[in-house]
């Protein structure tokens, strides 16, 4: 029972990380029809810069970590917005070229990060409490999981509020449904593209700093490896669906944890099988729209 609880909460914590990456991917795809392969780079860069700034503020301190998280958010948002404005916008409505550009950015940026920070991950110092555990009904839950879960829940709530309550949110929701008709109402949908990139980048940037908390290190490949799971989550949840991404993030991470523990480290295989199962039974994903 305690093992089940531990796996469950750890799974939800990892799911929180997946969600921070997948939420932006899903929104960007839903609105623009572009799979953003550069999304992992936003995460990695934010992770490095968050760590660089945070440790100067106070290595291993809460202040350092919180500043780092803030830096991650801002870096993610800025880099993503610039990517959209400089590379994606120039290729308006040319989806294949857009995707290829993001692939190129993803590959090139990893090489750049390796050049600056080296090929090996760097161990980082964190506030002591995060390395300790909390007893939940007999299960010793690593405390960093609470930070991950709380942050992702907050991001989810903020994105939902943004989508429901703001005029940009309205344009984005409408655009996910029918981008062409949004332009035919006289709305410059490209501005919403930039906004969606910025929001997705901010979430991924925060995810970058939190990933370094989860793994205890920063590294040039952190974004790339998380991106793969985030893509799977996005497809399982239904491309373009935020709630789908949230549900699928938790589902995928929990399945992964349980399979790793009970089925001899077959977590990745289980995730791929889950993906195949969803694609067979519901090709549009759990919450995906039938038409897009």
Partner 1 sequence: MTAILTVRGLDARIGGQQVVEDVSLDVAEHGVTALLGRNGVGKSSTIKALLGLTERTGVVTFAGERIDGLLTHRIVQRGIAYVPEDREVFGGLTVEENLRLAERAGAPNRAIIAELFPELLERAKQQAGTLSGGQQQMVSLSRALMNENRLLLVDEPTKGLAPRIVGTVTTALEAAAERTPMLLVEQNLQVVRALAHTVVVLSGGRVVHTGPATAFLDSDLVHRHLGVSTDQEAA
The two three-digit tokens of residue 188, written as one number: 């410059």
Our finding on whether 181 is near partner 1 (CB under 8 A) is yes
Residue 186 makes contact with partner 1 by CB under 8 A? yes
Q: How far is the CB of 156 from partner 1 (least distance, A)?
A: 19
Q: Give how far Cα 124 sits from Cα of 14, 162, 164, Å.
A: 19, 33, 38
**What sign results for the dihedral spanned by CA atoms 71, 73, 78, 79?**
positive
Q: Could you tell me the smallest distance in angstroms from the CB atom of residue 45 to partner 1?
A: 32
290 near partner 1, rule: CB under 8 A = no
Residue that is written with structure tokens 């897009």 in the block: 292
Pick one of 33, 174, 217, 243: the residue that binds partner 1 (CB under 8 A).
174
Report d(CA 203, CA 246) in Å as an integer: 13
Q: Any residues with CB less than 8 A from the CB of 31 and at least 6 apart, and which? A: 172, 175, 176, 179, 189, 192, 193, 196, 240
**Which residue's CB is nearer to partner 1, number 39 or number 179?**
179
Residue 122's DSSP bridge partners are 218
Nearest distance from C-beta of residue 94 to partner 1, angstroms: 12
Q: Which is nearer to partner 1, 116 or 180 (CB)?
A: 180
Q: How far is the CB of 203 from partner 1 (least distance, A)?
A: 22
Of residues 189, 198, 204, 274, which one binds partner 1 by CB under 8 A?
189
d(CA 128, CA 266): 32
Measured in whole angstroms, how far is the alpha carbon of residue 245 from the centre of its chain? Answer: 10
Count the site residues for partner 1 by CB under 8 A: 17
Give the one residue of 97, 114, 177, 268 binding partner 1; rule: CB under 8 A. 177
Binding segment toward partner 1, per CB under 8 A, in 28-36, 128-136, 181-189, 280-288: 181-189
Least distance in angstroms from the C-beta of 178 to partner 1:
6
Shortest Å distance, C-beta 20 to partner 1? 24
Residues 143-172 binding partner 1 (CB under 8 A) are 167, 170-171
Give the three-state DSSP class for 139.
strand
Whose structure tokens read 């829940």? 153
Nearest-10 crossing angle of helices 189-215, 222-237: 120
**What residues make contact with partner 1 under the rule CB under 8 A?**
167, 170-171, 173-174, 177-178, 180-189
């Amino acid at each position: 029972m305690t093992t089940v609880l531990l796996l469950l909460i750890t799974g939800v914590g990892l799911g929180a990380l997946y969600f921070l990456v997948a939420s932006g991917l899903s929104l960007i795809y839903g609105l623009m029809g572009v799979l953003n392969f550069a999304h992992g780079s936003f995460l990695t860069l934010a992770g490095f810069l968050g760590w660089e700034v945070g440790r100067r503020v106070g290595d291993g301190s809460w202040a350092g970590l919180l500043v780092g998280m803030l830096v991650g958010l801002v870096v993610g948002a800025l880099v993503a917005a610039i990517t959209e404005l400089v590379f994606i916008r120039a290729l308006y409505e040319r989806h294949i070229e857009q995707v290829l550009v993001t692939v190129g950015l993803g590959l090139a940026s990893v090489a750049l990060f390796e050049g600056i920070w080296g090929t090996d991950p760097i161990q980082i110092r964190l506030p002591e409490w995060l390395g300790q555990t909390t007893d939940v009904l007999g299960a010793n839950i690593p405390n960093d999981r609470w930070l991950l879960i709380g942050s992702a829940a907050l991001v989810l709530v903020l994105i939902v509020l943004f989508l429901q309550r703001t005029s940009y949110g309205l344009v984005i929701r409408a655009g996910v449904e029918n981008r062409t008709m949004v332009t035919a109402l006289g709305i410059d949908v490209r501005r919403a593209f930039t906004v969606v990139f910025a929001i997705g980048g901010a979430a991924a940037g925060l995810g970058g700093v939190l990933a370094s908390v989860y793994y205890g290190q920063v590294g040039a490949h952190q974004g790339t490896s998380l991106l793969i799971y985030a893509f799977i989550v996005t497809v399982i949840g239904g491309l373009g669906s935020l709630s789908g991404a949230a549900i699928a993030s938790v589902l995928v991470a929990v399945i992964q944890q349980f399979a790793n523990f009970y089925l001899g480290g077959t977590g990745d295989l289980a995730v791929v099988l889950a993906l195949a199962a969803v694609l067979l039974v519901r090709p549009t994903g759990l919450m995906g729209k039938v038409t897009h």
